[in-house]
Amino acid sequence: MTAAGLGFTLTDEQEMLRKVVHDFAAKELTPEWLRELDRTARAPHDEILPRMAALGFTSLVVPKQYGGLGGGCVDATVLLEELGRTSLSIASLLNFAIGFGTQTIISFGTEEQKRHYLPRVCTGDMFFAFSLTEPNAGSDAASIRTRAVAAGDDFVINGTKIFTTGARESKCLLVATRTDPGVPKHRGISLFLVDSKTPGIIYRPIEKLGMRGAGGLYEVQYENVRVPRSSLLGPLHGGWDIVKATLERVRLSQAAYCVGCSQQVIDDAVRYAQQREQFGQPIGKFQAISHLLAELHVQAEAARWLLYRAAWLVDQGVRCVKEASIANLHATETLLRVTSDAMRVYGGYGFTLEFDIQRHMRDARLFVIGDGSSQIQRNLIARLMGL
């Protein structure tokens, strides 16, 4: 992949990474296994992460001094896009390890925190959950009310979070709290790294429509949860900038596996259209079908280029808040359209559980509402345009 005038090209190593991920997915992520995960809502963290670790997936973006490979955002994008072709749930599960928790610690953590968490990420033994959203603080994330109050050498956390994916399965919760209620809402926020088994944390599972193999969805209550001051991530009261930076990377990660899934759904629909015959010819010969699939392919290609441009900018050290939001908005809405329109190609078969298009369509619904809805992305883009 090259980009004339944009300055990025996938290296031979990145192309090899794509092949390794492709071969891994073909061998380990079989359709039958993925359907079983979806049917039983089982998240295979302990089963699959060590296998990924053996191939260097979990250590890809960890700096070399902590046992990692020192890869960048484009490397992670290649990895997550290729995994997303096979399973959005498994790509998302890997992102719990190498995404927001790891990237946030690399950027904002103390040396002690890096030495504690990052080597465990490399071995597949550490993955995170982002405990941000609250019943009255969703799109307006800065309105969180969960409190963390200093108590000697510790902090005590009280409050309720909701829609925290993988909370109970995780090894560590990245918890956003309000530590100074007397200042404007975008200030006075602090983040803590909290062991998910800490006394006082109560998990209530919430049944969900899709992404059933990526970890449970939970309401999380913090009742007098005591954590040491050393668990503070970044400066006290300076957490909002960390939240924004974390969400920026989350949005790029999501865009990566949405692009991968979109392309796989299109490829599968093309093969089906070549094989399925009606009125004496393959249905792909009918213009209504061929034009539909061609348009979906155009949208997926555009999503891929927007994604890689933003990832390349990150690796150049350029802040790309707008570019990340553009990439996320286009990739997630493209996936929503691709899965919906591809089901039309399958007709009645697409409505059955024997075909995976129904799972992809259910999974796709999350990404236009989670970690910044499409409307929030448009608000952010408009504001960065000066509107």
pLDDT band at residue 7 using 50, 70 and 90 as cut-offs: low
User: pTM of the full predicted structure?
Assistant: 0.94
**Mean of per-residue pLDDT scores for the chain:** 94
| Residue range 37-50, pLDDT digits in tens | 999 999 899 999 99
pLDDT band at residue 8 using 50, 70 and 90 as cut-offs: low
Predicted local distance difference test score (pLDDT) of residue 187: 92
- Work out the average pLDDT over 301-321: 93
**Cα distance between residue 318 and residue 19, in whole Å:** 28
Report whether 113 contacts 105 (CB < 8 A): yes
**Cα distance between residue 325 and residue 277, in whole Å:** 41
Q: Are strands 128-131 and 172-178 parallel, antiparallel or unpaired?
A: parallel
- Work out the average pLDDT over 340-362: 95
In percent, the amount of the chain with pLDDT more than 90 equals: 91
Report whether 90 contacts 29 (CB < 8 A): yes
Contacts of 23 (CB under 8 A, 6+ apart): none
Predicted local distance difference test score (pLDDT) of residue 219: 98
| Residue range 134-172, pLDDT digits in tens | 999 888 888 999 999 999 999 999 999 999 999 999 999
Predicted local distance difference test score (pLDDT) of residue 1: 42
**Cα distance between residue 201 and residue 227, in whole Å:** 12
Q: Encoding tokens for residue 217?
A: 């969805």
Neighbours of 246 (CB within 10 A): 25
Residue 222 pairs with which residues in a beta bridge?
159, 201
Hey, what domains does the chain have and what are their CATH numbers? Answer: 12-127 (1.10.540.10), 129-237 (2.40.110.10), 241-384 (1.20.140.10)
CA of residue 282 relative to chain centroid, distance: 37
Report whether 259 contacts 307 (CB < 8 A): yes
- Work out the average pLDDT over 103-119: 97
> Comparing C-alpha atoms, which of 286, 292, 297 is closest to residue 341?
292
| Residue range 210-250, pLDDT digits in tens | 999 998 999 999 999 999 999 999 999 999 999 999 998 89
Report whether 332 contacts 307 (CB < 8 A): no
Buried b (16+ CB within 10 A) or exposed e, 195-205: ebeeeebeeee
| Residue range 75-91, pLDDT digits in tens | 999 999 999 999 999 99
pLDDT band at residue 4 using 50, 70 and 90 as cut-offs: very low
Predicted local distance difference test score (pLDDT) of residue 134: 95
| Residue range 243-278, pLDDT digits in tens | 999 998 899 999 999 999 999 999 999 999 999 999
* Confidence check: pLDDT of 5 > 90: no
Predicted local distance difference test score (pLDDT) of residue 371: 81
